[in-house]
Chain A
Amino acid sequence: MKKNFEFDLNHVLHELKHYLPSQTPLKDFIHHNSLHAFQHHEFFEGIFKASTIFGYKVTLSLNEYRKLYKLGRIRTEILTKTIVDKYGEINFSDWLDKVLNKSYDFEVSTRIGQFRKTWQNFYQIDLDNKVQPLLFRIIGSYLDQGIALWHFPFEDKGLINAVKILEEKSFSSFFKTERAKKLLLDPSLNISKLLKILVDKESLFQEYIFDQQFSHRGWSGIVGAIEDNPNSILYPKSITLKDFITLELLLEIDALTSEYGENWQPLGQLFNKEPADLFAPVANTELQQVLILWQMAFEWSYYDEVFAGLLSLQKQKKAIQKVENTENEAFTSFIGIFCIDERECSIRRHLEFVQPHCETMGCPGFFGVEFYFHPANGKFYEKLCPAPVTPKYLIKEIDSKGVRGHELLFNKKANTIFRGFLITLSLGFWAAIQMVLDILRPKMSSAISDAFAHMNLSSTLQIEASSPVEFENNLQVGFTIKEMADRVENLLRGIGLYQNFPLLVYAVAHGSSSANNPHHGAHDCGACSGRPGSVNSRVFAFMANHKEVRKILVERGLTIPETTQFVGALHDTASDEMAFYDLEILTPANKLNHEANVFNFENALDLNAKERSRRFASIETQKYIKHVRKSIQKRSVSYFEPRPELGHGTNALCFVGHRHLTKGLFLDRRAFMNSYDYRSDPKGDLLLGVMKPLPIVCGGINLEYYFSRVDNYKMGAGTKLPHNVMGLIGVANSSDGDLRPGLPLQMIEVHDPVRLMLIVEHYPEIVLKTIQSSPEYYEWFKNGWVLITVIHPESNQLFTFKNDQFHLYTPLLKVVKESTDVHELIDLATEMKTNEIYHATQEHIPVHILN
């Protein structure tokens, strides 16, 4: 905010967009830090500042922490250490008492909204009630992507222009008074002029606009997001936040004028208000300090357990290695490269269990190939790579055998009068039968988002660029040989796969099927802009199988044996099913191999379904495993199931290192795992490339879950059940409600709000150099929005990052739990008590070493 409170519209609009939610329309769901605007502050400083200004709840409540403490989820020794580290031995008992017993006044006053609220003190008028319903209706139909049968006239001319034409030409008006209409049609219409009427004093303009826009941050946010990314909607609309604000100001003037005639006084004249800076520094309160202590103790209670697990696992492994030194180079039957996604953490474990000779690896699920995808007959392109990347390539689907059917009951014509009459009298009765079928026998239909339908199993892709290279809309169609080789090499070296290739390497992407779920994109692959990664895995496999590519790779010192073949695959994380692509290219020997592997995959999927089922009350985990799998599959196609899967709930860790680090450690599906071999990259040249996307992808996911969990009302979307789809761009609670960005309750209810702990296997000095490579990147770690720890590859010591340096960390937990049977662990897990929703689900399982 400018210090002299001079009103600069462009500056205000820029600031507004910065603080408003930046979630784009729901068709693509890209996780991001909900408080990204505060990321230049230290984490706690930032979140409490956001809390003071906007009234968000940014941690769990004091009672929740105290309950966690009672339940042992926050450990005494960690709490002690946290307090001592921060306030020293001397003040320990003092602070302990505050933390455990003192009661605090929770009165929250927010800065936002205070000024504009005073309308009500001077005039008995509820401006929001008068203005918002109509404003939301207008902007809703203006942005509508295809729910309404009539679209907004002149929508290509911009909001204010379209409204102007309607006001001029039609025989009715959005406004109640002539005054507002006149102001609108006045050629000198601008925001300052309207604010002059409403507020009068220029020094108060900015505060007023902020108050106004934050009274419906959902709609304002989407307007800003669409203005900045016009491609985030398919049906193009010309919209600016400026137009939206202008319209709202006009409606406010209209409401006041219709109520009090022309002669009401502007808000700034009614009382003597000092201009205030919304973003002025905030004072620290003792309660905040207590909450910080609790939050840190909560986080470290978990990290400490993980660290202890990691270290004792390494010790055990060393002991075993000494005994079994003879069997050094084990035979590898196949390799599965999965997405780093923490939901793949369990299937990798199960796969290694059913086939001990296989190896699994992790890399971001777009497999290093960034492009737009053009499905056959599609009218648009889909971006298939992490959100910040802008690809230059296009992959086209040439033929598609599958055509999606139409659902009769989704016919929009049922909403018209005459056809509606015929449809109710005919299809109406079919609806009754369909309802019975959907409830008794849920099955896949075209109204359900199907991960496998993203790309048809048997369609052909144009992956290799023709020569000369073709361009379509400034995008290169396909990749050249060299470009392919670059990408394959990059990926393989990055994950440390450069020798000992088995016969088959699977690139397993993931997606998620779900029914009746506007947030389905949030369950798909985050590294593919919220879409299934099937095309990427296919493209990658094609590239890696390409003879010319391999020739180049050999020249670069990366030899893939001729017998080795890559297979693209897709794992549906909701239904636990898998599909494999392009099997016809396999050699007869590999075909046989593959068939054997499919059997292993199937078994692993069974086990994975069983493990997941423990969180679902409707499935009895102890049942026959195939039944459990069937029930899991059914969830993903049931209209009545608001939790087809639990998404990224519980995510907390991110590993960058060899699988040795974690193999044998039970992490309860809480860890992102990126493969990386420090030995192949001693100087850390590749490390930055590997680590670069992690804070934005994994950290974004983690922080979005964090904030949606701690304040599901303001930063999350609230419970899904009353959601009403608005214009195919978002959800709101009722017909007059504001849009609800963020994650719904059903996705975050099992989540523990802890920050992401990145654990890297390398030398501390190399990692430090890497994270300091650029200031924006370093900000994530320096300000503590993502935490980082290094595990020293030789000494096996842990170094945690704090105050710009790595410090040695010795876990407090001495004995790590051990178990011989994962399923016993799962069966014995207790009911979750820590969430405010009782009877919610089973509790998180502590870190175990599996023997």
Chain B
Amino acid sequence: MNFYIPLFILIPFIGFVISLIPNNHQEKWIYRTVFMTLITHFLLLTFLCVNGIFQDDFNLFFEGPALYKTNTSNFSFHLYFDVQTGFFAWITDFILILVSTFSKTYLHREKGFKRFFNNMLFFFLGLSIIEFSGNFETLFAGWEIIGIASFLLVAFYKDRYLPAKNAMKLFSAYRIADISMLLGIWLSHHYFKKSLNFQELKFLEINYLGGEHDIYILAIPFLFLLAALVKSAQYPFSSMLPRAMEGPTTSSAIFYGSLSVHMGVFLLLRTFPLWENHFVFKVVVVCFGVVTSLLGTLIARVQSSVKTQIAYSSISQIGIIFIEVALGFHTLALFHFAGNAFLRTYQLLVSPAVLSYLIHDQFFHFIKPNNLIKENLWGRMNMTIFLLSIKEFNMDTNMYQYLWKPLKILGGKLKFFQTGKALILCSLYLAAGFYFIFIKKYYEEAWLHQFSFIGGLLSLGLILSAFESRISAENAWWQIIFSQFLLGQAIALNEQFEIAQLLLFLSGIVFAAFLGFLVLKRLTYKGESILLHKFHGHSYVRPRLSVAFLIACLGLSGFPITPTFIGEDLILGHLHENQIGLTLLISLILILDGLAIYRIYARLFLGPHEGAYHETAYRSS
């Protein structure tokens, strides 16, 4: 039986690749590919589940090839199937089959018909990887895929401003989740001295009673919790969910109504053994659940837009599911997930019908509500809650105010890094650094650490400045590349390690950097502006360059299709768990580099395209 499991990843992958072949007009072709992919997956899964029920054996395991293996780290592709996988995957497949059939007609004649279904299969691939993953590394790959698929689907109507803006908003939050998870994985490597797989995790005895690593054993679940909170749009990340509903109704239904948004629950369930004995942590999870479900329901109550209302209602129920998971009611949590997923999908799919339904209802049953809010304390509390709910408890503005704005201001101050001098300085630093790598043994370790830390700071400076750059994209692109090199070098200097690992990390970057560079040159050659001060929407006239640049971005940001991804993971393995400063520095760089890279993509290729005589959307639409 174990043999079957890789099929659950292979089928979506093959389906995705096939779906890239037809052109946009071959709607039937595209849909059939999607349907066959889903139905095969679904039937096979049902068979496996039925088999599991009868044999009473739900634990299947598949150990894939090790992608990279050293004595300290083992990066391998592990798959795992248990009741949780079966349940989640079955509901995923069921909803996707329904929604894709719905979308076949709904999206008929849409310009992005093919793009939609490509994305949907890509998303399906990501979901399957998460659901069937056997270890955190594999799960992380799926996690990233979902992030990119979400980004692309939010920006589905890329010729408008708001989708472009909100896609970046979603992506920024997701990037925090990704890096937090990566750190969690890194810490768990250190703590357990190996890559954990989920089968072992279940039988793991975790001792919380002291020892030198106690801080880490607390940090690991917290990092995973942070990832889960973002993905499930829990407090304080809730406000991004309604804003992500920019794509066609059907994509909002599957991503933000039902499936993607429940992946936080999945992660929480998966990591449960890590914290099941940890009382404080449980309290924290319950608190987040309570706060989210209360705020969610309050905000939903005052919403005048139907999709936003559904989004907040869904978030509120997920808050309750978080509580259920923390309290150990896992079967209830699973059923609650299923019910919530079905209900929200349905509500979103028929959300346009609400207009005629409610107007009709109003026509026959309207009673003008009386407006007596007393001006006593209770009334004033009511008003306060109403006002705060309208403002979504400032979640959206706070996120910007306290997280991104300081970074932007800092980036704006670091204009020096945009100059040629800075790049020369960095090149010199890089050259010196590589020299030191080869003759490392002659120097004191402490001195090298300092040297690498300064390299890290330079890297951060570059990336911060690129993140807020308003001048040429080419300049920012160079900054990012330099920053990545400095990062690699900083880690290489930090510890004894194999050059091959560094090469693995850099190989992907070099290729992506080169491709991106070509695209930028091509754009300039065609006379297009590549200034980063606004959205240009070049994909309107240059769709192919847009795809090429997207691939370059994926490569540069360490997306799991490139060697950079494994390199990134390996490189983290070389950080010592006691180097908090360097670790934070590197995580910040990793978060920002993703943002800076996709910002360039968004600014150049998304948003309204102006210039030719064709319709352009209003900024506010």
Contact = CB atoms under 8 A, between A and B. Distances in A.
Contacts of A26: 355
A106 B611 contact: yes
Interface in B301-316: 301-313, 316
A749 B109 contact: yes
Contacts of A837: 109, 111
A216 interface: yes
Interface stretch (A197-205, A579-587, A728-736): A728-736
Given A379-B366, A718-B617, A428 B339 contact: yes
Choose among A138, A420, A424, A727 the residue with the greatest number of B CB atoms under 10 Å from its CB: A424
A724 interface: yes
A106 B613 contact: yes
Contacts of B381: 171
A134 interface: yes
A720 B353 CA distance: 12
Choose among B101, B366, B368, B618 the residue with the greatest number of A CB atoms under 10 Å from its CB: B618
A740 B294 CA distance: 32
A439 B617 contact: no
Contacts of A379: 362-366
A536 to B, nearest CB: 18
B109 A840 contact: yes
B617 A416 contact: no
A143 B305 CA distance: 11
Given A640-B106, A733-B246, A447 B343 contact: no
Contacts of B384: 170-172
A409 interface: yes
Interface in A92-108: 104, 106-108
A16 to B, nearest CB: 16
Which interface class (under 10, 10 to 19, 20 to 34, 35 or more) fits B? 35 or more
Contacts of A838: 25
Interface string A140-174: 11011111111111111000000001100111111
Interface in A342-392: 375, 377-380
B345 interface: yes
Contacts of B312: 415
A379 B368 CA distance: 11
A271 interface: no
Given A149-B301, A235-B366, A736-B243, A62 B613 contact: yes
B26 to A, nearest CB: 9
Nearest to B343: A428
Interface stretch (A297-305, A429-437, A752-760): A429-437
Contact of B306 (A57, A153, A725): A725
A162 B617 CA distance: 33
A516 to B, nearest CB: 5
A712 interface: yes
Nearest to A642: B106
Given A108-B613, A722-B248, A735-B242, A148 B304 contact: yes
A540 B364 CA distance: 26
A719 B106 CA distance: 11
A558 B577 CA distance: 101
Nearest to A216: B620
A432 B342 contact: yes
Contacts of A517: 352-353, 356
A421 interface: yes
A725 B355 contact: yes
B294 A737 contact: no
A153 B374 CA distance: 11
B305 A713 contact: no
Interface string A828-839: 000000000111
B55 interface: no
A520 B357 CA distance: 12
Given A169-B380, A234-B366, A415 B102 contact: no
B617 A714 contact: yes
Contact of B371 (A27, A154, A515, A728): A154
B619 A128 contact: yes
Contacts of A643: 108
Given A145-B362, A235-B366, A749-B109, A150 B301 contact: yes
B274 interface: no
A725 B309 CA distance: 11
A641 to B, nearest CB: 6
Contact of A711 (B27, B383, B611, B615): B615
Interface in A177-200: none
Contacts of B103: 640
A725 B352 contact: yes
A138 B390 contact: yes
Contacts of B304: 137, 140-141, 143-144, 147-148, 726-727
Interface in B327-348: 335-336, 338-343, 345-347
A266 interface: no
Nearest to B166: A734
B388 interface: yes
A143 B336 CA distance: 34
B602 to A, nearest CB: 15
A36 to B, nearest CB: 20
Contacts of A283: none
Nearest to B340: A424
Contacts of A150: 301-302, 386, 389
A589 interface: no
Contacts of A432: 94, 342, 346
Interface in A414-429: 414-417, 420-421, 423-429
B159 to A, nearest CB: 8
B98 interface: yes
Contacts of A719: 110, 157
B316 A417 contact: yes
A296 B371 CA distance: 57
B314 to A, nearest CB: 9
A494 B494 CA distance: 94
A61 B613 contact: yes
B349 interface: yes
Given A154-B373, A735-B308, A838-B25, A417 B620 contact: no
A723 B248 CA distance: 8
B309 A639 contact: no
Interface in B87-104: 94, 98, 101-104
A722 B107 CA distance: 11
B616 interface: yes
Given A128-B619, A146-B358, A435 B342 contact: yes
Contact of A378 (B166, B246, B355, B363): B363
Contacts of B105: 618, 638, 640-642
B338 A57 contact: no
B162 interface: yes
A447 B613 contact: no
A429 B245 CA distance: 24
A425 B341 CA distance: 10
Interface of A: 26-27, 57, 61-62, 104, 106-108, 128-129, 132-134, 137-138, 140-141, 143-156, 165-166, 169-174, 215-218, 234-236, 375, 377-380, 404, 407, 409-410, 414-417, 420-421, 423-429, 431-432, 434-436, 438-439, 446-449, 515-518, 520, 617-618, 638-643, 710-714, 718-728, 731-738, 740, 749, 837-840
Interface of B: 25, 27, 94, 98, 101-111, 156-157, 160, 162-163, 165-166, 242-243, 245-250, 252, 293-294, 296-297, 300-313, 316-317, 320, 335-336, 338-343, 345-347, 349-366, 368-369, 371, 373, 375, 379-384, 386-391, 396, 610-621
9 contacts: A141-B302, A215-B618, A378-B363, A415-B313, A417-B316, A421-B317, A517-B352, A640-B104, A724-B305
Q: Which 3 residue pairs spanning A and B have beta carbons closest together?
A: A428-B339, A144-B304, A721-B248
Given A428-B343, A643-B108, 16 more contacts: A106-B612, A141-B304, A147-B358, A148-B303, A148-B309, A155-B371, A375-B363, A407-B357, A416-B301, A417-B296, A428-B338, A518-B352, A639-B353, A640-B105, A722-B156, A733-B163
